[in-house]
Structure 1
Amino acid sequence: MDFFHFLTFDFSFPVWVILASALFFFTIQLVYYLLIYRVPYLYERKRDKRPHDSGTLPPVSVIIASKNESENLARFLPAILDQDYPDFEVIVVNMGSTDETDMVLKTLSLKYSHLYYTYVPAEAEDVNMKKLALTIGIKAANHDLLLFTEAYCEPASDRWIREFAAEFVKGNEIVLGFCKLKMAKHIAMRKFILYDNMIQGLKYLSLAILGKPFMGIGRNLAYKKEIFFEEKGYSSVLNIDEGEDDLFINRIARKNRVGVVVSPESMTQSDVVDNFLTWRALKHKYLYTKQFYKGGSSLIFGFETFSKYLFYLSVIAGIVYGVYVGNLPAVVLLLLLLIIRFAVQLFVLGKSSRMLDAGKYHLDLLFFDLFQPFNNFKFWKYANKRKKLKK
């Protein structure tokens, strides 16, 4: 094969099909990254950052359900109790802890008069204990605005409550936030776990900003007390294990006005993921409840995954075929599409990762991009298998 023949563009049907397919799925991928995944970054960039007058901010009740979390409560609860906010209370519901939780709460209540704690009845069933605990906390709350987090989470700043309350002032009835992970560098698959947490956050935050909310996380979300009772509590998700956060928000979000906070001050942070097994357990809970989501979120992001793999497949097939038939222009064009997509992905996720404190990514982004859907599918199968065995 001479050099000039190698440079000749082959207008054969297979080449056109491969190039058209690659370009089609390339375009879809750009739409996802530029018009969906980039939304939280642009939203935060354009947000009005002028501080609200304390006199206009409504009172807030922070609610935490805790079981055998005495160490975490001792570490993180003071950061919540010391928030820079004019009027708030913190309610901790003890779910039958057998550790030093009661002592920690009693000690802290001597210092903080706005800390209250109560208990779940000893005869409560284990399956819905978390839902019952939160219901008890909600009923005990003195204020209409309810802000939720976990005992193993810490506010990233002393303005955490203030950032959420400002969204309610705008007329929102539900407010969704983000929880970043603080992980030691020696933890296996650390960068991938941070990437996975970031992508999950970008998905639900983006669609919420675009007016299509579909979930929230119990580590950082808020809603009005009246909504809880209008929806008859957790009755719509009572027959499903877990789901007191993501599934509950999935059921009620489309009926109410939803706000989003992604400022650094509004985030919570957690070092709960201290090894791969802990992260897997958390992922199992999320992936199990995800299959019960209503709305089109699964189709939206399922199509993103579908188009991504078909793009990669088209590029690889085209390069192999192009080399085989000696079509260098086709090979160069496909490589160019691959490089442009990666550059856009790196740009969008790079901005988002800095905002969400999710690490830095380079060529490893390609591996994470390909591996994450397989990992989620594997975890989802395992989670469903475990649930069936328990039954």
Structure 2
Amino acid sequence: MDLPYIFNFNFPLPFWIISGAVLLFFSIQLVYYLLVYRKPYVYEQKRNKSLPLSENLPSVSVVIASKNESENLEKYLPAILEQDYPDFEVIVVNMGSTDETDVLLKGLNQKYPHLYHTYVPAEAEDVNGKKLALTLGIKAAKNDILLFTEAYCVPASDHWIREFGREFSKGRDIVLGFCKLQVGKKVAMRQFILYDNLIHGLKYLSLAVLGKPFMGIGRNLAYRKEIFFEEKGFSSVLNIDEGEDDLFINKIAGKKSVGVVVSPESMTQSDVVNNFFTWRALKSKYLYTKQFYKGVSSLVFGFETFSKYLFYLSVVSGITYGMVFGNYPLIALSVFFLIVRFVVQLYVIGKSSRLFNAGKYHVNLFFFDLFQPFNNFKFRKYANKRNRLRK
């Protein structure tokens, strides 16, 4: 008596090839989500259980480079100046602003004596402006720990500096943080923008937790002043537009002790993304400098994207072949692994999203997952074209 087809294990060769491919790329994707992307969330859970009872906190200098940001400085700078921290200063470098920045800083200085401000000379304004401004701020800093953010960012809590100070008290040389985006509900592609920012953060923070740091963002990172001078400042990235944060960290992180802060109190947040074009400009900066990164990060995440699309292709091939030739076990297997991957992905992204306050995900996660690499490719072309026109 012949067994029904579903119980007949004498399947044709295409079944074994397709099912093998589905299982292989499913396994690779599982490794990325459970052992890489999940790292920041797990790291924060463990950190919460091992917070020190006493703290020997180092002195900190917060450095901000600003150009025509008087409105943002007025809104956000007090939250930095009023941090709950024993010993810190805030240095704002005015990059030739033509708005009320100078008047505002002088006024704030009357109330906050630990605020210092300097400026980039007019004749040097267009010569590597941001790098020069940060160099002036770093030279003016009296403390060894330098904490960087932008004029359009605000700390998520009054313990922002304290979270970084705790990490440096462990002997770290560099500490990387995360910046949340507050995107208005009327902004086009709002949920995708939040997702994209979350994935970007998970990538560089995950590898940092795993001991393979490759970048940081100038909206929330810190390092020791002595490192800056050991590396001769930004000289190694002086010929590249931008890169005063991610490229600089990329070039020095492999030789130093790197820590990570991902607690809600350690984050900064920004509402700078008020339309699609602002987001494109912000993201394109990192996509342009990314091509100059050294190390394995591009290969690691390039392979993740490659395996992801091969997984989807294998699943579609399995379903299509199964429907054409009536191979229902192959259809069931393909759909099963597609669902399991989605559930794992939803679990990991959901947990991380709650930690980083990056929105809620459901079926939209499937479409974001497919679309993001294409969007990055499009934005990278835009960034390269923009930088060619500048030269």
TM-score by length of 1: 0.97
The verdict on how the C-alpha distance between 1:77 and 1:105 changes in structure 2, with shifts beyond 3 A counting, is same
2: CA distance, partners of 1:365 / 1:324: 29
Residue correspondence of structure 1 range 102-117 to structure 2 within 5 A = 102-117=102-117
Match of 2:150 in 1: 150
> How many angstroms does 1:385 deviate by?
1.3
Equivalent position amino acid for 2:292 in 1: F
2: CA distance, partners of 1:8 / 1:197: 48
Match of 1:360 in 2: 360
Residue correspondence of structure 1 range 292-311 to structure 2 within 5 A = 292-311=292-311
> How many angstroms does 1:50 deviate by?
3.2
1: CA distance, partners of 2:355 / 2:6: 47
Match of 2:128 in 1: 128
The verdict on how the C-alpha distance between 1:327 and 1:8 changes in structure 2, with shifts beyond 3 A counting, is farther
2: CA distance, partners of 1:137 / 1:360: 39
2: CA distance, partners of 1:52 / 1:119: 41
Deviations 1:106-129 (A, max 9, x none): 111010000000000111152510
Matched, 1:330 2:319: no
> How many angstroms does 1:36 deviate by?
0.1
Native 8 Å contact 1:9 1:328 kept in 2: no
1: CA distance, partners of 2:53 / 2:203: 28
Native 8 Å contact 2:23 2:337 kept in 1: yes
2: CA distance, partners of 1:304 / 1:141: 41
The verdict on how the C-alpha distance between 1:291 and 1:20 changes in structure 2, with shifts beyond 3 A counting, is same
1: CA distance, partners of 2:6 / 2:33: 35
Deviations 1:229-288 (A, max 9, x none): 000000010000000000000000000000000000000000000011100001111100
Deviations 1:292-345 (A, max 9, x none): 000000000000000000000000011000111101111001100000000000
> How many angstroms does 1:390 deviate by?
2.1
Match of 1:50 in 2: 51
Residue correspondence of structure 1 range 197-216 to structure 2 within 5 A = 197-216=197-216
- CA RMSD in angstroms comes to 1.3
2: CA distance, partners of 1:160 / 1:243: 24
Match of 1:172 in 2: 172
Match of 2:188 in 1: 188
Match of 1:288 in 2: 288
2: CA distance, partners of 1:7 / 1:328: 11
Residue correspondence of structure 1 range 1-391 to structure 2 within 5 A = 11-47=11-47, 48=49, 50=51, 53=54, 56-126=56-126, 128-391=128-391
2: CA distance, partners of 1:331 / 1:204: 36
Native 8 Å contact 2:95 2:125 kept in 1: no
Deviations 1:72-129 (A, max 9, x none): 0000000000000010000000000001111110111010000000000111152510
> How many angstroms does 1:66 deviate by?
0.1
Deviations 1:328-364 (A, max 9, x none): 1110011000000000000001000000000000000
Moved over 6 A (4+): none
Deviations 1:197-230 (A, max 9, x none): 0000000000001000000000000000000000
Indicate the SS of the match to 1:123. Answer: helix
Number of aligned residues: 388
> How many angstroms does 1:377 deviate by?
0.4
Gaps of 5+ in 2: none
Q: Percent identity over the alignment?
A: 74
Indicate the SS of the match to 1:92. Answer: strand
Equivalent position amino acid for 1:158 in 2: D
